[in-house]
Amino acid sequence: MDDHLFTLNGDERWLIRFTHLKGDAYGITYTRKAARPRIVIHDGLRGRHRLTVLIHELLHAIFPQASEDVVEQAGKDLARVLWTLYDITPKEDEA
């Protein structure tokens, strides 16, 4: 399990946790209505797929009113641009 705390939406403390997820979901966002707002990402994801899922879930956290279609497309677009323009090496991939 790999935990990180971030402030989102100006002043909301969010937990981002990378851990094993059962089932078909790669990520889950527990909204600010939850006892503790958090994003959980499957720890088996690597590289660009991990980035895409993280961005997707961050979009849910920051824009909870956005439709799944909007979040899905925006997440893919942002991940593609960031992956292409920046030399992104996720911490779990570093040697």
Q: What pLDDT, on a 0 to 100 scale, did the predictor assign at position 31?
A: 84
| pLDDT for the residue 14 | 95
Torsion sign, CA atoms 89, 93, 94, 95: negative
Beta strand 38-42 pairing with 12-19? parallel
Note if the pTM is more than 0.85.
yes
pLDDT given at position 95? 45
Cβ atoms 17, 2 nearer than 8 A: yes
Q: Residue 73 is encoded by which pair of tokens?
A: 């497309």
Q: Which amino acid is at 85?
A: L
- List residues bridging with 14 in a β-sheet: 6
Give me the residues of the chain with pLDDT under 50, please: 95
Two structure tokens written together for 92: 């779990």
